[in-house]
Amino acid sequence: MTFVQLIECRTSRLDEMNRLIDDWVAQTRGRRTATHALVAKDRSDASHIVEVVEFPSYEEAMRNSNLPETDRIFHDMVALCDEMPTFTDLEVVRDELLTEITVRRFFEALQAPGELSPLNDLLDEDVHSHDPMNPQDTIGLDGVRSEYRMWRSAFDVSMTVEDVLAQGDRACARWTWNATHTGDFLGISPTGRHVSMTGLTMFRFGENGKIAELWWQHDQLGLMQQVGALDELEQ
């Protein structure tokens, strides 16, 4: 279970403390077990500093604490503080990246049966979509929905989201696409062929939490080959 340590202190020497943390990171490279560290300053009290350090488990946190460099940094840190730092040990009971949830909901909506949903709860009204299959970017919710309807009318689609990585206002999804060619696609009559494709999609989120921009990367050449668009060229 993920374990988080909350460290609070008061200091007017934040720059020195940051340099101290940088030194500790350099000295413990390859041996430290912390996976994420965040340092924040209280907006209403600039001397109130909070550090949040994340570990895979309590046991890994204890391994980290037992490093000789960790002991040294603690004593140096105390010297920079106006009073003794306080430590709070937290077992994480819920951990959700809301951008990841939105990405997964987006892919679920794309392949949901029936009429395509409005998507206005997921996509910004002024969303921009970049796809190498299109000569120009698609801009606006109506245009993006029209593009998705074109794909849905041409293929009976099943998508599997293999991985989602999210950080800040960006997320990236690796997906697998399996489909049957059941309708007209870029002038190619339906072939009934089973086709597959893998790809990546990068997402940028707006301040409202909705998807504001997408970049698609997929094997369009392989897809065109599978639906027979390249047969005459290969002969």
Residue range 93-115, pLDDT digits in tens: 988 889 999 999 999 999 999 99
Residue range 88-97, pLDDT digits in tens: 999 999 888 8
Residue 60 · residue 33 · CB < 8 Å: yes
3-state secondary structure of 14: helix
Q: Going edge to edge, which strands form the sheet with 86-91?
A: 36-42, 45-55, 3-10, 86-91
Q: Going edge to edge, which strands form the sheet with 155-167?
A: 138-139, 123-130, 211-218, 194-205, 170-181, 155-167
User: 98-234 domain in CATH 3.10.450.50?
Assistant: yes
Q: How many Cα atoms within 13 Å fall on the side-chain side of residue 36?
A: 10
Indicate the domain borders of the chain.
3-91, 98-234
Residue ranges, the chain, pLDDT below 50? 233, 235
Q: In terms of Cα–Cα distance, which of 209, 226, 2 is closest to 120?
A: 209
Please give the Cα distance from 139 to 59 (Å, whole number). 49
CATH of 3-91, one of 3.40.30.10, 3.40.630.30, 3.90.1150.10, 3.30.70.100: 3.30.70.100
Residue range 190-220, pLDDT digits in tens: 999 999 999 999 999 999 999 999 999 999 8
